[in-house]
Amino acid sequence: MPLLKLLKGQLPQNEIPLGFEDLLIGRDEFCSLQLTDDQVSRQHASVSQTEGRFQLTDLNSRNHTYLNGDKLKPGVPYALENHDLITILRYAFSFIDDRDDSRMLDDESVSQISVIEDRGRSSPDSASLNASSSNWEFRSSVNSGAKLSAMMQITRDLHNALALDEVLAKVLDSLLKIFPPAESAVCVLTSPGDDAPELRVAKQRKAEADETIFISRTVMDHVLETGRGIIFDDIQSQPQIPLTQSIVNARRRSVVCAPLLDLENHPLGVMQLDTSRKSGQFSNADLDLLSTVALQVSLAVEDSRLHEIALREREMRRELQVAREIQVGLLPDQPPELTGYDFFDFYAAAREVGGDYYDYVTMPDGRCAVLVGDVAGKGVSAALLMAKLASEMRVHLAGGLAPLEI
């Protein structure tokens, strides 16, 4: 039976049943659902039923009504979906409609999908996924206004991205708003030059949940290899996925997974949503929407990696600049003054540092040794060898060794 379940606030009852008559919410004592907070309007909002679907309408309230975190436009009815969150000031309700769960998928319309092969296993037969188009059309994940709002929030989060893991966490939070059936969301990234995927961020709908988040390596490998998203309905019954104890413990039934790809369609990772509910929870429209989000996230991931590369290169340039200053410091500040001789010197490395070397060293007997050298090669390795040569030459000449002995 459809109802509102009290999540936050104090009321005489925690569950308010919904029927054919409108549920009027407000501060007035004649309201069907009376909220005693003085900030609640006398007639704040209403829940009505039209053609079997429930709708929430803000009645031009002073402090607004929120659906899934979005402020409702007064006087405009918004369709309610199972597990939608309704917030009125300090009161929070969850809309529960178990009629959705009672609608079983039929076999009139079945789509086929070619599934993956596990590592070291032969290619399995195609698996059938129940996909009743009529049921998908009925079961929109969440109302279009909330979807659009969540997508706009994802775009804002990605536009303002600084720390990648932080923005990925925000994206997963928004995905859980867009897809009410999903119980957890994960983002897995691959490292450049390394095939081993890394779990970067994971989110669960229930903050107190202490369940194992299920990630199928078979599903993930398939998406990474093909670059195409996939839906697995009733994953525990799929013959191509080994039924391990961890899968049983995770109690996951349906999975939708979309790839993260760079501009050259090279895999960056995957985004996955799953649920423990019965089959038929994710549709092709859900996969398309998740793939759209994954496309935006892919750009953010690639931008983040390019930013990291730029930071490393900037740090390297800074270190090379310090090395250049040290190397130049090893060269003489000015030539010596010797009667009958004029000295001219100039130093410019082909790169930030190099292997060219010159020096003037006064020997114990008063003579001046002029040292000129060129280490084979360029860059840091040549500069290190030059620094070693410079220090050793000074030591040996100061000890009175003749040039031939050195």
Predicted pLDDT of residue 259 = 92
Q: E strand or H helix at 153, and its extent?
A: helix 144-159
133 — pLDDT class (breaks 50, 70, 90) = very low
The answer to whether 100 and 71 have CB atoms below 8 angstroms apart is no
**pLDDT confidence of residue 98:** 65
Are 181 and 141 within 8 A, CB to CB?
yes
Matching residue, tokens 């009925």? 138
Task: Compute and round to an integer the Cα radius of gyration of the chain.
Answer: 34
| Token pair 């890394």 in the structure block, residue | 198
Percent of the chain predicted with pLDDT > 90 = 14
Element (H, E) at 45: strand 45-50
Of 310 and 400, the structure prediction assigns the larger pLDDT to 310
At residue 404, the pLDDT reads: 63
Question: What phi, psi does 260 have (nearest 5°)?
Answer: -105, 120
pLDDT tens digits for range 263-319: 888 889 999 988 876 655 688 888 888 888 888 888 888 887 887 788 888 888 887
Residue-range domains of the chain with CATH = 3-96 (2.60.200.20), 144-235+251-307 (3.30.450.40), 331-399 (no CATH)
Q: Report, as an integer, the average pLDDT of 148-177.
A: 74
Q: How many residues does the chain have?
A: 406
Parallel, antiparallel, or unpaired: how do β-strands 15-17 and 33-34 relate?
unpaired
Q: Is the pLDDT of residue 242 over 60?
A: no
Q: Each residue of 323-351: pLDDT tens digit?
A: 788 778 878 888 888 888 888 888 877 77
**Residue 151 CB coordination number (10 Å):** 18
What integer is the mean pLDDT of 140-144?
46
Mean pLDDT throughout 64-68? 91
**DSSP-derived secondary structure for 61-88:** -SS--EETTEEPPTT--EE--TT-EEEE
pLDDT of residue 134: 30
